[in-house]
Amino acid sequence: MAKKSLSERQKNILTYIEEYVAEFGRPPTIREIGTAVKISSTSVVNYNLTKLKERGLLERDAEVSRGLRLTEKVAVATEQVKQSVGRAMAKANTAVGSVFRVPLIGNIVAGLPIEVGNDGDFSVYDDEDVVEIGSSMISGRHDNLYALRVSGDSMIDAMVNDGDIVIMRNENEARNGDMVAAWLRDGTTTLKYFYRENGRIRLQPANPTMQPIYVDPEEVQVQGKVMMVLRQTA
């Protein structure tokens, strides 16, 4: 008996995985797949992924949250050009095989500074909150990175929107033009461009409707520099 053809939902899942990998260089999460194909239940997404795996269209690594790999059979199932799917499959396999985990340790405001009340310590999230990134996406050391979720719109002209995640390198020094997480001595924190000028520090938003913040050097502490921005796709 011939196998039942794929449902439209399953075809959409395969297409989304392929397109996501082509754009971001890593497979999507279960929740991202559900949002993209309009499935509210993660268990329903998992059910369809299991069916796709049974048909040999996907491979899954249970130990990795983004552990999805397209197989060669996807080309036939989705009526895509085999060469295109092969490139996406190789990219996905490479991304899954070389991911590292960055702790998501809190929020950072891209707007007016807000009081954090903890001497600039962002570590308010659980240990299980992590972001997985392909090793090739950030050069240099990976053991001094952390992630913050952005709240606010002061950096929108720098393509950093509300809900995005910024990957930070833990550094206390910054050069002019660096985008930094800055903690101020009055107990507030903010995400801004950093500039030294005329004996002061200018924390510059990337939003023409907002004004820069000027502080004395001893009143500000750089806690990290932005290395990468992960866009909120939902």
**pLDDT, tens digit, 9 for 90 and up, residues 68-121:** 877 766 655 555 544 555 556 566 655 555 678 888 888 888 766 654 444 444
Residues with a catalytic annotation lie at 154, 192
Question: Residues with Cβ < 8 Å from 171, sequence gap 6 or more?
Answer: 144, 222, 224, 225
φ, ψ for residue 126, nearest 5 deg: -70, 160
Question: Percent of the chain having pLDDT more than 70?
Answer: 76
Residue 96: which of 119, 76, 66, 125 has the closest Cα? Answer: 66
Who contacts 193 (Cβ-Cβ below 8 Å, separation ≥6)? 158, 177, 178, 179, 180, 203, 204, 205, 206
124 has pLDDT over 50? no
The CATH number of domain 100-230, selected from 2.40.400.10, 2.30.42.10, 2.10.109.10, 3.30.70.260? 2.10.109.10
Phi, psi of 85, rounded to the nearest 5 degrees:
-65, -35
Range of weakest confidence among 32-41, 69-78, 141-150, 178-187 = 69-78
HSE-CB at 189 with a 13 A cutoff on CA atoms is 21
Instruction: Say what the pLDDT of residue 128 is.
Output: 54
Per-residue pLDDT, averaged over 44-72, amounts to 80
Q: What is the pLDDT of residue 118?
A: 43
The dihedral through the CA atoms of 34, 37, 38, 44 has a sign that is negative
Q: Rounded to a whole number, what is the distance in angstroms from the first to the last CA of the chain?
A: 40
Query: Is residue 37 over pLDDT 70?
Result: yes
Q: Distance (Å, rounded) from C-alpha 134 to C-alpha 75?
A: 24
Question: What number is the average pLDDT over the span 190-219?
Answer: 94
pTM: 0.55
How confident is the model at residue 232, as a pLDDT?
A: 72
d(CA 204, CA 139): 26
Domains of the chain, residue spans? 8-97, 100-230
Residue 195 reports pLDDT greater than 50: yes
Residue 56: CB atoms within 10 A of its CB come to 12
The class of domain 8-97 in CATH terms is: mainly alpha
H or E stretch covering 205: none
The mean pLDDT value of the chain amounts to 80
Q: Let me know: does 94 contact 86? Beta carbons within 8 Å.
A: no
The pLDDT value given to residue 18: 84
